[in-house]
Amino acid sequence: MEIVFIRHGEPEWVRDGLNVDNPPLTERGHRQAERMAEALAGEHFDEVFCSPLLRARQTAAPLFAALGRPETIDPWLEEIRNPIWHGTPQEIADRAYTEQRERAAHDRWHGLEGGESMRDFVDRIHLGCTLFLEERGVCRLPSDYSLWDLARPDLRIALVAHAGTNSVAICHLLGIPAVPWEWDRFVIGHASISRVTTLRMGDGHTFGLTKLSDVEHLDRDDRTE
């Protein structure tokens, strides 16, 4: 089984000095999305899903078109829910992120004031990922190790989501315990492609990370984080 995690393209977080909530892609972000779709157009996927947020939907649009599929949204792929800063000066968000980075490690579980806590976000993604897999016959086995039972070892799925969502889901599949800075564990570029593939064991299957943040399909000037 292979799950291909795709991060959205570069979003327009700030416009005219003001924060943008649920932002669209920049011009470069749209180019990134087109190149990603071209890179994956020749591959077979049994299912393709994207996050409900605009930047992910716009990134996924060229891929859905290239594969001849309708847009299919799965809510569990939504990124961590930040405070609503739309229309406020950019400095407000900058100060909040600076304050968060200066916290002690365990204090990062609280997340940004007015937004979703990191603990709630991690729990939401773990549960969403688990239920998503169970619907496809992929069930965690009772074991001290991260072993799974697979109904369809040949299943291939593509997910277009976010740095945080993808990082948390990948760590969950690999059996890596969560930390309050989950998405900082992996540097995942815009419109990058990461791949997780199952490996057969004597008593089940385990997931292995075979590719992380592949951006070789992007022009060098279009590689952003």
CATH of the domain at 49: 3.40.50.1240
User: How many angstroms separate the CA atoms of 99 and 172, rounded?
Assistant: 27
Three-state DSSP state, 8: coil
> Within 10 A of 208 (CB to CB), how many other CB atoms are there?
12
Say what the pLDDT of residue 170 is.
97
Contact partners, residue 20, CB within 8 Å, separation at least 6 = 11, 12, 13, 14, 86
Say what the pLDDT of residue 182 is.
86
Three-state DSSP state, 109: helix
Say what the pLDDT of residue 184 is.
85
User: How many angstroms separate the CA atoms of 71 and 52, rounded?
Assistant: 10
Torsion from C-alpha of 107, 108, 112, 118, nearest 10 degrees: -120
Say what the pLDDT of residue 117 is.
95
> Within 10 A of 112 (CB to CB), how many other CB atoms are there?
19
User: How many angstroms separate the CA atoms of 77 and 169, rounded?
Assistant: 9
End-to-end CA gap in the chain: 28
Say what the pLDDT of residue 143 is.
86
- Residue 199 DSSP label: E
- Which H or E run contains 61? helix 54-67
Return the bridge partners of 5, or none: 159, 194
Domain that holds residue 112: 2-222
What's the pTM value of the predicted model, to 2 decimals?
A: 0.96
Tokens describing residue 34:
């087109």
* Number of domains comprising the chain: 1
Contact partners, residue 200, CB within 8 Å, separation at least 6 = 153
Return per-residue pLDDT of the chain as tens, 225 residues.
999 999 999 999 999 999 999 999 999 999 999 999 999 999 999 999 999 999 999 999 999 999 999 999 999 999 999 999 999 999 999 999 999 989 999 999 999 999 999 999 999 999 999 999 999 999 999 988 899 999 999 999 999 999 999 999 999 999 999 999 888 889 999 999 999 999 999 999 999 999 999 999 999 999 999
- Which H or E run contains 150? strand 148-150
138-140 and 193-201 beta bridge pairing = unpaired
Say what the pLDDT of residue 130 is.
97
Upper half-sphere CA count for residue 141 (Cβ side, 13 Å): 16
User: How many angstroms separate the CA atoms of 137 and 148, rounded?
Assistant: 10
Tokens describing residue 31:
């180019």
Phi, psi of 149 (to 5 degrees): -100, 130
**Cβ(132)–Cβ(74) under 8 Å?**
yes
Q: Would you give the distance in Å from CA 158 to the centre of its chain?
A: 11
